[in-house]
Each structure stands twice: as structure tokens, then as C-alpha cells.
Structure 1
Amino acid sequence: MRVLQIHLPVAREPAHIRAALAPLQAIEPQLLLVFFAAERLADGAFTALLAEVFPGALRIGCSTAGEIVGEEVCEGSIVVTAVHFDATTVREVTTELACMADSGAAGERLAAQLPGEGLRAVLVFAQGVAINGSALVAGMSRQLPPGVAVSGGLAGDGGAFSRTWVLSSQGVAEHRVVAVGLYGQALRVGHGSFGGWEPFGPARKVTRCENNVLYELDGEPALDIYKRYLGEYARDLPASGLLFPFSMADKDRSSVGLIRTILGVDEASGSLILAGEIDPDGYLKLMHANPNALVDGAQRAAEMARAMVPGEALAILVSCVGRKLVLGGRVDEEVEAVADVFGRNCTLTGFYSYGEISPFNAAPGAVGPDSCRLHNQTMTITLLTEV
């Protein structure tokens, strides 16, 4: 497997972009991963150029809340990572997302297009605003054979939560979901995911919810309780919700290791719109974080993935925009922590997202459709290599 990468930090004329892309042609890539600021690809000119320069390659990716290239976190840029597989084949599938309620069915439609024989892993990217990410993953899991790892993430638009974009070989679209199936026994896949957030306050019982909309906690409107905890931060909702996600807990009030971010609020119904579904019989506990804990969490995610895949590899990092807000000027540190674990023989790419998709448990033998989840506020890592 060979990997080459370019970074386009500022807008350029087509001739300059063509020249920058030219070195990637040398490895004859079958797959291009493209992560970009929303404003950079909205007009379609860049994607048309990609199609012209790489007509034989699959071209997938999404808009971001920050691009990851090497050990840096960038904004307003484009990162293109070209991958040539020696013994792995790739197949792209897409579907249109009609509305949030269509998320589960969209996942089923997407996965049903991927032949099961020889399928080792799936990379998926979806729009990040009007979607139920956990339902999307569940729908895919219902259609995929056992042992297939699903990873990827939901697109961002810099933190505006307004319009996000997905890139497929058909071009850029606002309501598309794209996936690439990776086939072949030579492929090795590693995964790691970790948060670093700390719970505070009591665990509160979910007393009314519907899919990813939380109406009541302990019999009170969820928004009222949430505002009391946030205090002065409540005036900045929903944006400030990224700083105070929920930890999901089971009936025994023990954490299940999944975090849910607040995407929106409904003042009329007193409800919170979460990035993924919650357990209607479970509990939720508020969380907060400090930069050191988040950096340590990124390092632990890297150690999980590295334990599964040693040696040279491509590392796809999908981290949450909420982590980026907490880290602020230290945001590069969590990517640097990952790079320190992997060393110089790994190429790092990825983005800051509105939802991360990764196996829930990265232990060997536990990676499969049932273990794949939508994460929030988490650093997730996918390592790919061939043997």
C-alpha cells in the first residue's frame, strides 16, 4: 500500500491546483480521501478538476469543522490523501438522505449495495446536521456481514451547524451519504476511540424521549434541567452545548462509554436534540473536560489502534468539534499525541466532525457491525495497512 498527501491551505487558480495534484498521480491511486472547509468545495470546480485528473479513482470525503493533516489542525483548507492498494479492492456506494427520519433506512440502503464476500471494512461519510447518526450506523449494521468494521463520521461546517457537504465520485451534495467497502484478505484494520470527558452531577433518569430527541429527565423538561446546570452558558445555547455533553448510563447508572452531544434545542417543547439516539430506559449524566484529559484520551485511542496494526499505515482521525472548542489554541496537541504513538511511518489525515463513527470496543475479536457506534466528543482512529 502506498499513500501520498497534499494540503491546499489557500484558494488557488486551477492551474496551480492541477500542479499540486500531479505528484499524487505517480502512485495510481484507487481511492482519494478529501476533507475540506465547506466554502472551498461548494461551487464544484475543485471536484470537477479531481474527476479530470483522477478519472479512475474513487473520490470521497466531506466538509469539516477543521482539517487534520500530519500533526496539524487547519481551517479553511483542503486535504487530499491518495491511496494505492496492492491487493485490496474498493467499491463505492451512495444514497440520498430524505430527512432525519430516513437515517436508519438510508444506512440499510447503503450497506445493501455492498457485496458481502471478502468485505473487510467500510468507510462512511454523511451530512452532519439533519441526520440521526446512530440510526444510520444501526441501519448499516443490519445489512452487513459479521466481522465488518464500520468507521467514518458526520460532516461539519466549521461549527455553524447550518449546511454540510459530502463528496462522492458523483460530486458534492448536501444530503448524500457515501461509503466505500474495502475488500481482500491482505487488508489489516485497527481502531481506537476514547473521550477524556469527566461526569459531574447526579445521573438523571430518561423519562421521555423519542429517538434522538430528549424531552424529559426525572419527569422535568430536559431543557430546563440542562439550563440550570449550564448557568451563564445557557444563553449561548445550542453552541455552548458542545462544551457540556451527556454520558449515557445503564439502568444501574453505570456508564456505557458513549457520549451524546446537543445539536439543538426546542424552547416550545423544552427538549434537546441530540446527535444520536439514547436509551429510553437509561440514565444521562452531564460531562465536562479539561484540555489535558482530552489530549490523554487521544493518546489512548492511538494506543488502542496501534496494538491492532503495527508498522506503516494510513491513520484516519475523526475527532469532535466539541473537543476542538475545549482545546482552543491547544488543539494541535491531541493530534501530536496521536502522531507520537504512531511514529513517522504513518500518514495522518482526518477532520473535526459533528459525530464520529467507530467500533465501540477496539479489542481484537470484538470488531464487528454490532460493536460499531456513533460517538460524540470522542477521538476515533482507523488504521489501514496491507500485509
Structure 2
Amino acid sequence: MRIRQLCLPDSRPTTERLLPLRAIDPQLLLVFGSLAFFADDQALATLQAAFPDSLLLGCSTAGEISSHGVDDHSTVLTAIHFAHTRVQPAATPLHDMADSGAAGARLARQLAADDLQMVLVLGQGVAINGSALLQGISSVLGTGLPVVGGLAGDNAAFSRTYTLNEHGSSDRQLVAVGLYGKQLRLGHGSYGGWTTFGPARQVTRCQENVLYELDGAPALEVYKRYLGEYAADLPGSGLLFPFSMLGEHQQDAGVIRTILGVDEASGSLTLAGEVQTGCYLKLMHASTDNLVHGAEQAASAASLAQPVDGDSLALLVSCVGRKLVMGDRVDEEIEAVADELGSHTVLAGFYSNGEISPFAPGQPCRLHNQTMTITTLAEMAGPHD
């Protein structure tokens, strides 16, 4: 497995600048970039022409992650040449939020095979039910297969996001690749670093990922009361105060939910993933030090202990809410991950509107919010290498 990475601060690729990536003949090119890149038809055409035999997979972000740290308004291109692993694409339109589960099933059916080892999926970051998307995928592929990735970002505007494959970009399409072959090695880690505060509130009315009532009162009214002066900046300020989802007996379920939108008329909150009637929610807040420590824990859990053949990749998907809390110190969580994984691992990823990952290897995949999720990928040497 060979990896080459290029960071474009001006988001405009040229054929000459792409030569080092083309030199390794990649089967897969990951593209994480600014909204400006996805609006630039010439930039996309240049990529398609330079990599006619490669699968392209990417999305717009709320910040681009590379081995050099975190950038804004840039494009990070990561070319991957697999020695032993087969790569297959999948894509489907997302007609509306109610289509999320069916769209996940449509994606999964395109990828199903006996030697499928992992699915990397990227979805739009608004008007989507990330939990239902995963349920649709698992209805076809089962719950034991690792599904990783995230929901695209748009710098916390929650207005319009994009995904990309080799056919171009779209604001209404889900894209994925399946990785196949027994020599692929994976590691996973997902940690937050947030702290709950205030009383637990029971969900008394909800519909999938739309929260209508807490303790019998309009959810938006209750939420605004806690936010105080921050309420004027909703929905963006909701990234600073996510919900911790608790079980029926108020035990920690290990799942965080971010607010993606508000509806003044119905008094509701639209969340990135589903909640259940009868469960309890608590508000959360965080400090930079705690978030950095959470990223370090995620990297430790995802670390691959066994020796590998060639380069290894760490796919980092971290929540835009973490970036807003950390501000100018956001590079610290990426530095913590790099220190933990070592210089031999290439880092690539983005700040998202939702993260998709198992908590740890062997555990079911979930939609996370406000977490740092890390998936490490490498190949073992073949029998005749």
C-alpha cells in the first residue's frame, strides 16, 4: 500500500501539481475540500482528467485534515495505491430526509460481496438522517461489517454541502467505496471529551431525528432556555451544546446528538441522528484540553500493533462543533493523533456534520456527533511478497 498526499491552499489543482499523486497509479483518490472547490467546474474537470482510472471519493468540509494539520478553504488530495485490496464504488441520490434508510440500502446492495471488508461512506450534511442511513446499510450488509465515514460540512452554515465521486459533485448524492480482500487490516477509535451538565430531560415526543418535546414542553423552548444569549445564534450555536443520549434509566448510552436545524413554528429541533421516545437527554459542554485528550484516546484505540506492508492511512472525521470550541487550538487534536500513531501513518480527513464509525473493532457502527473518529487502514504482506 502506497500513499501520497497533496495540500492545495488555493483549492485549484493543475496537471503539473498532480504528477506526484499520479506517479503511484492510485485506485482511490480521497478529496476533502472547501465549498469553493466543489463550485469550481474546472477544478473538478482537472481531477477527472488527471485520474481517469481512479475512483474519486470526497466531500465538502468544515475544515480539511492532513498530515500537516488543519486548514480552511483548501483542498487535501490523498492518493492510495493498494497492493492487495480491491476497491468498488457506489452512489445513489438522496431524494429527501425520509429517503435516508432506503438510500443506505441502495448503496449497500451495490457493494455486497463475500470478501467485503469495509465500507467508506460520505453523505450530505443537511436534510439527512444519519442513523437511518446506517440502518439501511446494515439491513443489507449486517451489523458486523465496519462502516466508516461521515456527513459533509459547510463551515457550520448547515445550508448546502457536497459529495464527490468520479462522475462529479452533487448536493443530493450519497457516495461510498467498498474495500475487499483479506489482507486489509483495520483499526477503529471514537471518543468525545464532552461533559454533561444540568438535569436529564425525557423525550416525550419525537419522530425519527426530529425532537418535538422534552418533559412535555416544546424542545426548542427548553433548549433556548438553557442557551441564554447563545440562543440568538441558533442553529450554529447548537454545535457548542450537544445532547448526550441516555437510556431509559438515565444511564450513559455513549451517543451524542448535534442540532442541525430548528423550526420555530413547531418548536422542534432537527438532530443529526435519531432519538427514541422515553429516553433521556442531557446538555453537554467541553474544554479544549478534554477534547484533545479524547482525540488522543481515539488514536490509541485505532492504532495498528502488527507490522504492515508499506504505508498506513488514518482516516480522521471530527465534528465541526469540536473545531468551534477549540478555535485557534484546533491543530492540537490533530497533533495528538499524529504523536500517537507515528510519522509512518498518513493522516487524511475532515471536520464534519456527523461521524460514522464503530466505537471499537468488532462493535456495531453508529452515527456519532461531537466525536473524533479514527479508522486506520493498512495491508499485510501477501503470501508471495
Q: Normalising by structure 2, what TM-score? A: 0.96
Question: What secondary structure sits across from 1:19 in the alignment?
Answer: coil
Assess if the C-alpha contact under 8 Å between 2:98 and 2:129 holds in 1.
Answer: yes
Question: What secondary structure sits across from 2:327 in the alignment?
Answer: helix
Using the TM superposition, give the Cα deviation of residue 341 of structure 1 relative to its aligned residue in structure 2, in angstroms.
0.2
Partner of 1:10: 10
Paired with 2:266 and 2:51, the residues of 1 have a C-alpha distance of 50
Paired with 1:239 and 1:226, the residues of 2 have a C-alpha distance of 13
Q: Which amino acid counterpart does residue 8 of structure 1 have in structure 2?
A: L
% identical aligned pairs? 61
Map 1:120-269 → 2, pairs under 5 A:
120-145=117-142, 147-269=144-266
Assess if the C-alpha contact under 8 Å between 2:203 and 2:277 holds in 1.
Answer: yes
Using the TM superposition, give the Cα deviation of residue 228 of structure 1 relative to its aligned residue in structure 2, in angstroms.
1.1
Assess if the C-alpha contact under 8 Å between 1:6 and 1:80 holds in 2.
Answer: yes
Using the TM superposition, give the Cα deviation of residue 267 of structure 1 relative to its aligned residue in structure 2, in angstroms.
1.1
Paired with 1:382 and 1:120, the residues of 2 have a C-alpha distance of 13
Using the TM superposition, give the Cα deviation of residue 161 of structure 1 relative to its aligned residue in structure 2, in angstroms.
1.1
Using the TM superposition, give the Cα deviation of residue 310 of structure 1 relative to its aligned residue in structure 2, in angstroms.
6.1
Partner of 2:30: 33
- C-alpha RMSD of matched pairs (Å): 1.2
Q: Which amino acid counterpart does residue 4 of structure 1 have in structure 2?
A: R
Paired with 1:173 and 1:185, the residues of 2 have a C-alpha distance of 33
Q: Which amino acid counterpart does residue 6 of structure 1 have in structure 2?
A: L
Using the TM superposition, give the Cα deviation of residue 245 of structure 1 relative to its aligned residue in structure 2, in angstroms.
0.2
Partner of 2:374: 381
Assess if the C-alpha contact under 8 Å between 2:256 and 2:370 holds in 1.
Answer: yes
Q: Which amino acid counterpart does residue 9 of structure 1 have in structure 2?
A: P
Q: Which amino acid counterpart does residue 373 of structure 1 have in structure 2?
A: R
Whether 1:329 aligns to 2:328 is yes
Name the CA shift for 1:306/1:190 in 2 (closer, same or farther; >3 Å).
same
Partner of 2:317: 318
Partner of 1:352: 351
More displaced 10-residue stretch of structure 1: 66-75 or 96-105? 66-75
Q: Which amino acid counterpart does residue 335 of structure 1 have in structure 2?
A: I
Paired with 1:233 and 1:332, the residues of 2 have a C-alpha distance of 25
Q: Could you list the runs of 4 or more consecutive aligned residues of structure 1 that deviate by over 3 angstroms after TM superposition?
A: 307-312
Assess if the C-alpha contact under 8 Å between 1:125 and 1:177 holds in 2.
Answer: yes
Map 1:24-173 → 2, pairs under 5 A:
24-145=21-142, 147-173=144-170
Paired with 1:109 and 1:178, the residues of 2 have a C-alpha distance of 11
Question: What secondary structure sits across from 2:111 in the alignment?
Answer: coil
Name the CA shift for 1:102/1:64 in 2 (closer, same or farther; >3 Å).
same
Assess if the C-alpha contact under 8 Å between 1:116 and 1:145 holds in 2.
Answer: no
1:58-95: per-residue Cα shift (whole Å, max 9, x none)? 00100000000114110111110000000000000100
Paired with 1:309 and 1:377, the residues of 2 have a C-alpha distance of 30
Map 1:262-301 → 2, pairs under 5 A:
262-301=259-298
Using the TM superposition, give the Cα deviation of residue 41 of structure 1 relative to its aligned residue in structure 2, in angstroms.
2.1
Paired with 1:271 and 1:85, the residues of 2 have a C-alpha distance of 46
Partner of 2:383: none
Question: What secondary structure sits across from 1:101 in the alignment?
Answer: helix
Question: What secondary structure sits across from 1:301 in the alignment?
Answer: helix
Assess if the C-alpha contact under 8 Å between 2:11 and 2:36 holds in 1.
Answer: no
Using the TM superposition, give the Cα deviation of residue 44 of structure 1 relative to its aligned residue in structure 2, in angstroms.
2.2
Using the TM superposition, give the Cα deviation of residue 115 of structure 1 relative to its aligned residue in structure 2, in angstroms.
2.7
Using the TM superposition, give the Cα deviation of residue 11 of structure 1 relative to its aligned residue in structure 2, in angstroms.
4.4
Paired with 1:156 and 1:309, the residues of 2 have a C-alpha distance of 34
Assess if the C-alpha contact under 8 Å between 1:191 and 1:308 holds in 2.
Answer: no
Q: Which amino acid counterpart does residue 362 of structure 1 have in structure 2?
A: A
Assess if the C-alpha contact under 8 Å between 2:304 and 2:376 holds in 1.
Answer: no
Paired with 1:376 and 1:188, the residues of 2 have a C-alpha distance of 25
Aligned length: 378
In structure 1, stretches of 5+ residues that fail to align are none
Q: Which amino acid counterpart does residue 117 of structure 1 have in structure 2?
A: D
Using the TM superposition, give the Cα deviation of residue 145 of structure 1 relative to its aligned residue in structure 2, in angstroms.
4.2
Paired with 1:278 and 1:310, the residues of 2 have a C-alpha distance of 41
